[in-house]
Amino acid sequence: MRNTRSLASTIGVAAAALVIPLVLGSTVVASSSPLTSRTQQISSAPLRLGIINPNGPSATWELEQIESVLGERASLAVIYKDFAQPAPIAELDAADARGSTTLLTWEPWAAGAGVVQPDFQSSDITSGRYDAYITEWARALANWGKPVMLRYAHEMNGNWYPWADRVNGNTDGDYVRAYRHVHDLFTAAGASNVEWVWNPNVPNAVPMSVVYPGSQYVDTVGLDGYNWGTSQSWSVWQTPDQLFGDGLTQVRALAPGKPIVVGEVASAEAGGSKPAWITRLIEYLAAQPDVTGFLWFHMNKEVDWRIDSSPASTAAMASALAARPRS
CATH number at residue 76: 3.20.20.80
Query: What is the three-class DSSP state of 83?
Result: coil
Which residue segment(s) compose the domain that 312 sits in?
5-323
In DSSP terms, which residues pair with 260 in a beta bridge? 221, 291
How open is the CA angle 256-258-262, to the nearest 5 degrees?
115
User: 3-state SS of 9-45?
Assistant: HHHHHHHHHHHHHHHHCCCCHHHHCCCHHHCCCECCC
DSSP letters spanning 234-284? T-----HHHHHHHHHHHHHHHSTT--EEEEEEEE-STTS-HHHHHHHHHHH
Q: What tens-digit pLDDT sequence spans the chain (327 residues)?
A: 654 444 444 344 434 333 323 222 322 333 333 334 346 899 999 999 999 999 999 999 999 999 999 999 999 999 999 999 999 999 999 999 999 999 999 999 999 999 999 999 999 999 999 999 999 999 999 999 999 999 999 999 999 999 999 999 999 999 999 999 999 999 999 999 999 999 999 999 999 999 999 999 999 999 999 999 999 999 999 999 999 999 999 999 999 999 999 999 999 999 999 999 999 999 999 999 999 999 999 999 999 999 999 999 999 999 999 999 997
H helix intervals, 145-266: 174-188, 208-211, 240-254
Query: Phi and psi (nearest 5°) for 66?
Result: -80, -35
What is the number of structural domains in the chain? 1
Element (H, E) at 317: helix 311-323
pTM of the model: 0.89
